[in-house]
Amino acid sequence: MKINFRHFPHPVLMDQSDDYVDSYFAIKQFECAPGKDAFEFNVSFELYDCYLQELIKNHIAEYAVHLECAPTNYRVIKNSFKPDISFSIPADLVEREIIASTLIIASEKISGYSNPNFHEDFAEETFEIQAKDILAAGPRKTVELEKKSPQQVGSIFQLKRNNASAAPALAAFFEHNKIIVELSAENYKNYNFMKKDKSLEPLFHSLLAMPVLVSAIEYLKQDENLAGAENYSWFRTVKKKLELLGEDIYDPGSLDSLLTAQKLLETPLTKSLRNLAESTNEDDEEEY
């Protein structure tokens, strides 16, 4: 959200305008710490304007941080009546960079708004302020995002049930932030029943994730699909994982789809067969 004072029908306290005199609003501290599953933000403000401070004290106005991530179209606003805000946002909703705008906004409608620190051009004027209108705007910050560790490839899938009578056993759709994996009603029911057993996870990767990931790599081998997929978070997760493996997702023609999928999922077939073999051995031992 690019703040420009010409957008406002009323005076706004900000560096880019002279609507106020002897007043000041700025960021005192802005921290963004990456985690495995979330980004942790700590933001504090400096405000020198007695009238705005009084509005905040009376819960008529509040501090706010507006976050916008262009690559994923994620937007959120965090509010507080205190000059310090701490919050987190899920890591899988943002990528690459996030733009933060620091604001003071009206919490409710203010009739006849005026401020003793208005520039003399507005000294005799009052304004009708609606809830969520911006009263002050600090500098924008662009935060480069670096995740603490790459997401697991398994997190790029979202399973759904297809209740159609002629639903295929397994289908995949790639034009979403996560790869949508549809199962027939029976398969979805059985999967949900057995997924609590963590020892079966490699088996599920072999049966579900492996063919879908092979199809995803084949999907990326079409030039028009590769360009569009950059907007999806599943693509960026796979890209990071492939970089660690020394592979280039922008040269999908060089990738063997089956071998690459096995690497990305860390050879689930081997793990599945090993688990089944150990289980069989345990059953045989119990017979003696």
- State the pLDDT at residue 36: 65
Residue with tokens 């009376």: 58
| Contact (Cβ atoms closer than 8 angstroms) between residue 260 and residue 209 | no
How confident is the model over 162-217, as pLDDT tens digits? 999 999 999 999 988 889 999 999 999 998 888 878 778 888 888 898 999 999 99
- Is a pLDDT exceeding 90 seen at residue 108? yes
Cα–Cα distance, 151 to 148 (Å, whole number): 9
Radius of gyration of the chain (CA): 27
In degrees and rounded to multiples of 5, residue 125 shows phi and psi of -105, 155
Say if CB 160 and CB 191 are below 8 A apart.
no
pLDDT at 230 over 60: yes
Strands 38-48 and 84-90: antiparallel
Nearest to 47 by CA among 64, 67, 72: 64
- Residues 195/151, Cβ–Cβ less than 8 Å: no
Domains defined along the chain, listed by start: 5-144 (2.60.40.10), 153-286 (no CATH)
Separation CA 192–CA 195 (nearest Å): 5
* Total-model pTM: 0.53
